[in-house]
């Protein structure tokens, strides 16, 4: 058995708004580079093959949305994944390259102190936060160096894909309909330092 901790940067690809209430959407979303952190607990069946359970998190500010004004607006994900890891300790070295893949779901979060955009016939302002839970998967690659018989340090790259998420906000008008916002798939490149210890 083993556990590991990874921490590093979350570098999202641009996305777009798929739905903004009853109005047409499609506005491009650009994200700032953010932070990722995850922990995994697994079992290595042999020196080549392991399975693990992973709980992680990413957080990124939204840099811009085409045609909108933003105030302290961010998105986050909390992936919950089952991973398969293939690794190959290079003979007569301390180096262990590895690849893998994971599948599961992710809680997603959208928070804004002010999201303002014009729509046909007027404008819309969103303020507050909401969450959703959607399908997620990832691809993994990296390399570790064994510090001793139990511990290793390394670097990893993960491509994380989280399905489109929807968020609902109360209308600013009395008994008005809720405003639904749907973001496109969240895709991020996660570059991390990793620490692993075996029991």
State the DSSP string of 28-96: EEEE--EEEEEEEEEEESSSSEEEEEEEEEEEEEEEEETTEEEEEEEEEEEEEEEEEEEE-PPTTSSEE
Mean pLDDT value across the chain: 92
User: What's the rounded mean pLDDT across residues 154-164?
Assistant: 97
Tens-place pLDDT, residues 49-80? 999 999 999 999 999 998 888 999 999 999 99
Digit-coded pLDDT (tens) for 10-48? 999 999 999 888 776 788 999 999 999 999 999 999 999
User: What domains sit in the chain, N to C, each tagged with a CATH number?
Assistant: 2-198 (2.40.160.20)
Percent with pLDDT over 90 in the chain: 76
């Amino acid at each position: 058995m083993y556990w590991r901790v990874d921490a590093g940067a979350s570098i999202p690809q641009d996305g777009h708004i798929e739905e903004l209430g009853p109005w047409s959407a499609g506005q491009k979303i650009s994200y700032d580079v953010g932070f990722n952190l995850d922990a995994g607990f697994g079992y290595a069946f042999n020196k080549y093959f392991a399975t693990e359970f992973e709980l992680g998190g990413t957080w990124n500010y939204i840099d811009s949305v085409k045609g909108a004004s933003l105030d302290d607006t961010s998105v986050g994900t909390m992936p919950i994944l089952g991973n398969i890891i293939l690794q190959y300790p290079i003979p007569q070295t301390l180096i262990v390259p590895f690849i893998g893949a994971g599948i599961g779901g992710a809680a997603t979060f959208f928070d804004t102190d002010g999201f303002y955009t014009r729509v046909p016939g007027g404008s819309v302002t969103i303020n507050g936060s909401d969450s959703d839970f959607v399908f997620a998967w990832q691809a993994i690659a990296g390399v570790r160096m064994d510090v001793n018989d139990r511990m290793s340090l390394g670097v990893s790259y993960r491509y994380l894909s989280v399905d489109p998420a929807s968020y609902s906000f109360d209308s600013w008008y009395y008994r008005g309909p809720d405003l639904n916002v749907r973001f496109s798939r969240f895709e991020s490149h996660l570059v991390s330092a990793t620490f692993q210890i075996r029991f």
